[in-house]
Amino acid sequence: MFLKEKYFHSPGWRLKAAFDKDANMGTDKPSKLSVEQLIKRIAAEYDGLSKQLKVIAQYVERHRDHIGLDGIQEVATQCGVQPSAVVRFAKHFGFSGFSEMQGVFRDGLTRQLAPSRNYKSRIRDIIESGSGSLSSVEIAHEFLSGSLAGMQELQNSLNGPSFKKAVDLLAATDCIWVVASRRSFPVAVYLDYALQHTDKRVCLVSSLGSMHLGQMRSVRRGDVMVAISFAPYAEETLACVAAAQERGAQLIAITDSGMSPLARKAQTTLQVQDNSTFGFRSLTATMGLAQSLFIALAYELELPYQPTTPVGKVPV
């Protein structure tokens, strides 16, 4: 006992303890996290949050470029909760309050990380001014500007490892299922068309005659499903995903949040946010992501068949 107490009170032990404490603070102190690290931490703990905190978590992820500028009252209003709930959310993740959490987003707020901020502000100003004098061409320019901003955001935020895993899953499987509903359905149709250029079996879940669950009986273990859905998330798509995974399929999710019901079940998730112009949300960035996925897969599949030496010459 004496030796143990002597060791604990020795200068060397105190120095080591101080070093360990500082090291842990550098790792765990929330104010030192980057925006992406904080979002990943929120996603990892999402299932254990209360209903109100889940709403705030989804808002924080989707509007990360706003959190650094908006006040706590505005965040609370957008989430439909009281400001005290926003404070509880911040404290849950180790912050002293909303202001300290906001500092993480404020530090990461740059034009490169949020290129659509100016676009969204401009649209908001036009709507709030009640201007009815926009011409058809001006409306088109605003819509195209929003689409360009969305594409730039996607390029800057595309997660490389997640994208590569999606390509690897598609390359390794013999059968690909594609499912989406309503607004997302055109993206699924494009992927079905593009994937027909491979030698894989490709199945588009069309839900024709409400027989989408019947189609799931043909899913086999080792198949891969690409599911596309955005808030409020189509029930038909979620049902197909659940049925396919019960039969052993792996899931690639294309969605708007790492906390969406699709992302929670997926082997890999590709996140994309399309901008809204006058209440109309485009598909430009989502379609660009789908096309990029196919092109990357096509390159992966064709690469082994490309000649590595000039025709007629034998490699040494």
Q: How far apart are the C-alpha atoms of 277 and 274, rounded to whole Å?
A: 10
Domain housing 182: 160-303
pLDDT at 256: 86
Q: 102 with 188, same domain?
A: no
Residue percentage of the chain with pLDDT more than 90: 36
169 and 291 housed in the same domain: yes
User: Which CATH number belongs to the domain containing residue 49 in this structure?
Assistant: 1.10.10.10
For the stretch 159-196, pLDDT in tens is: 999 999 999 999 999 999 999 998 899 999 999 999 99
CA distance 159 to 155: 9
Same domain flag for 166 and 280: yes
Same domain as 137, residue 189: no
User: Is the domain of 7 the same as that of 95?
Assistant: yes
Question: Residue 170 corresponds to which tokens in the numbers above?
Answer: 């598609």
Query: What is the pLDDT confidence band of residue 15, given thresholds at 50, 70 and 90?
Result: very low
Largest CA distance in the chain: 86
Query: What is the number of domains present in the chain?
Result: 3
> Are residues 51 and 84 both part of a single domain?
yes
- Choose among 231, 232, 188: nearest CA to 207: 188
Q: Residues 142, 178: one domain?
A: no
Q: Are residue 170 and residue 252 in the same domain, yes or no?
A: yes
Encode pLDDT of 270-295 as tens digits.
Answer: 999 876 666 677 888 999 999 999 99
Q: What is the pTM of this model?
A: 0.66
Residue carrying structure tokens 């706590």 = 72
